[in-house]
Each structure stands twice: as C-alpha cells, then as structure tokens.
Amino acid sequence: MTVTVSIVLGSVRAGRQGPRVAKYLETKFLAAGVKVHIIDPVDYDVPLLAGRYDWLPEDQKTDKFKALHAKLVESDAFVLVTPEYNHSYSPVLANLLDYFWHNEYFGKVAGIATYSMSGFGGVRAAGPLHTLIVGLGLVTIPRELPFPSVHTLLKEDGTLSAEAGSSGESLEGGAVKFAGELKWFAEALQAKRATGGLPAHHVEAHVVVGLTNVLHGSSGVTEAGLDGASIDIPFIQAIIARNRPFVVLGTFRAGRQGSRVVKYLETKFLTAGTMVHVIDPVEYKVPVLAGRFGHLPEDQKTDVFKSLQAKFAEPDALVFVTPE
C-alpha cells in the first residue's frame, strides 16, 4: 500500500523561505516511492482558529477547507516545515494544525523540518513543536532535519545552490535518512491501522479544563466569573504590584470558557485598585500572522489593528489567558 506524506508549510509572510524547503523534501520522498501533498496555508485561506473543524457549522466549511481536511485524512504521515518564531514554531502552522485533531492525526507519524536564514537552522522551534504533535495524537520520528542559512543552501526551485558546499552534502545525507525513517514509521502504523484499528481506549472526546481548574474547582465556575474570592494566587499578587495590567484572552470560539477566567482576574485587579484592560481577539479581527506589525504595509494596518498595537504599547504587565 502506497504511503502518502503531506508536507505542511508553516509561513505565509512575504519573502518566506519555506516553499524551497518543501520542494526539496518533495523530491526526496518521491524518490523513496512515496505519494506527496504539499499543503500551503496560502492555498486554503485558513481563518484564525475559531474551533475544531468537526465542530464548525457546515456553512463555514468552504470547498477549500473541505479539500484540506480530505488531504489530512488521506495522509499517513506529515512533515511539518517551520521557521523559528520567538524560540518556537510558527503560529501559522499551529493555527492550521489545531483546526483538526485525532480524527485526522491519531496513529499517524510526523517529522519536523526547521529552517532559518542564520546558521542554526531554526532548531529551537523543534522542541516546542514535539509537544504540539503529541497533543494532536501523532507519533514523531527521532530524526529532525534543520536547514541552516536556507537562502544560500537552496535555490527557489528546491535544488541545492552552487554555494551549498559541505553543508549541502551534509543535508543530502540527512534528508535521505529523514525520508527513510518517516516512511518506515508510516508503513508500520499504516499496517497497524489497517489490521488492528485504534487502541480500545481511544474515543473521540476532548475536554479542555485549562485555567478554570487551576484557579478553582469546576463547581466554582459560573457565567459571572469564578467563585472563591479568597483564593490566594501568587502570580495575581505579583502582577497587582504593576500599575496597568492587561488581561489578554486567548480564544474566540463558540462556547469559550476564557471569558469567565478573565472576569475572575478582573475582579482581583480591581479589588486591588489596579486599572485593568481586557483585550479580546473578537473585537480586533486579528488576521492569521503574515509578519510582524512593524513590517506590514500601511494599507494592512486597519484602524482596529492600530488601536490594538497602541494598547499593547501601554501596559506595565500582561496576563495571557489561554486554553490548552
């Protein structure tokens, strides 16, 4: 049975280097007898995460979105191609991956390819990405594949440049091993899925308790906020020492629980006589990351976006409220 690998790009910004990495990897997997899809977020118009794909109303599942879902379901393995963003993986990659879960990923395998225009190849992105991959239900192969100084290592068509030298030789050897290792795991897991199905305990259920259980037991959760005003939370006390904290909400999907956590925190800061602003992504229509705010063309900086930037420039402290 043929193995299908999806190479998933993790950047959409102007001048990105990811496509040359994807093209290079495509040749290696094709040479190994593997079917390849290149999944580019640009091609699918993936919106900012608003909930799992299988939870979305049908009228929000565009033809492009359905095509993306079908490719993920078909895939036996994934190669996640990411630059390094702030010592971690690309938020664009996470935004695409997080729309899906065990129905698309469980019992399959993933490999990590990182890149940068420096000599380190974006390797710091790989560690955090392993954690995300495990949470999605994927297995990761031991080998990673970094692309240092990618703009001089590879040409735009994905072939080695004339200046690649010994770095190119090293990459060639590593890439063949990377492709072979991913294919080996993919074939093993593909056979197990075909004959043995999924583990007996595996069910399609996902309950995120998140910060509500950290702050208080579930019995204390109400729509108005969290009960238990006497709870002593050291990090709240530390931030109260600042004059102008902002509480930043990290989700806007239907049924989100973050709002009640925010209300709880807001009461604590107000009780301490501290000014509080709540930043809710719903109000600012933040697009999927296409580059740093300071690097964007002026015509992409809407008035709402500018007001968000102004608010981030103001506070003395930030509290980030996020589900897992």
The candidate with the shortest Cα–Cα distance to 116, out of 169, 168, 153, is 153
The single-letter DSSP state of residue 292 is -
Q: Which fold has domain 211-321?
A: Rossmann fold (3.40.50)
Least confident window among 93-107, 122-136, 229-243, 276-290 = 229-243
158, 170, 177: which is closest to 111 by C-alpha? Answer: 177
* Mean pLDDT, range 255-261, rounded to an integer: 83
Among 17-26, 46-55, 66-75, the range scoring the smallest mean pLDDT is 46-55
Predicted pLDDT of residue 287: 72
Is a pLDDT exceeding 80 seen at residue 251? Answer: no
Residue 57 has pLDDT above 80, yes or no: yes
pLDDT of residue 301: 86
Asked whether the predicted pLDDT for residue 199 surpasses 80, the reply is no
Distance separating alpha carbons of residues 4 and 29, to the nearest angstrom: 10
Indicate if the pLDDT at residue 212 is higher than 70.
no
CB 129 within 8 A of CB 112: yes
Which residues of the chain does CATH 3.40.50.360 include? 4-196
H or E element at residue 69: helix 63-74
Mean per-residue pLDDT, 293-316: 82
Mean pLDDT over 90-115 rounds to 94
- CA pair distance 321, 324, nearest whole angstrom: 10
Supply the pTM of this predicted model: 0.71
4-196: what fold? Rossmann fold (3.40.50)
Alpha carbon distances (Å) from 138 to 141, 165, 314: 10, 35, 41
Let me know if 236 is exposed, middle or buried by CB neighbors in 10 A (0-12, 13-18, 19+): middle
Show the tokens assigned to 59. 């009228």
The Cα–Cα gap between 121 and 162 comes to: 19
Query: Is 221's pLDDT higher than 50?
Result: no
Task: Please work out, in degrees rounded to the nearest 5, the angle formed at the alpha carbon of residue 63 by the alpha carbons of 208 and 48.
Answer: 40
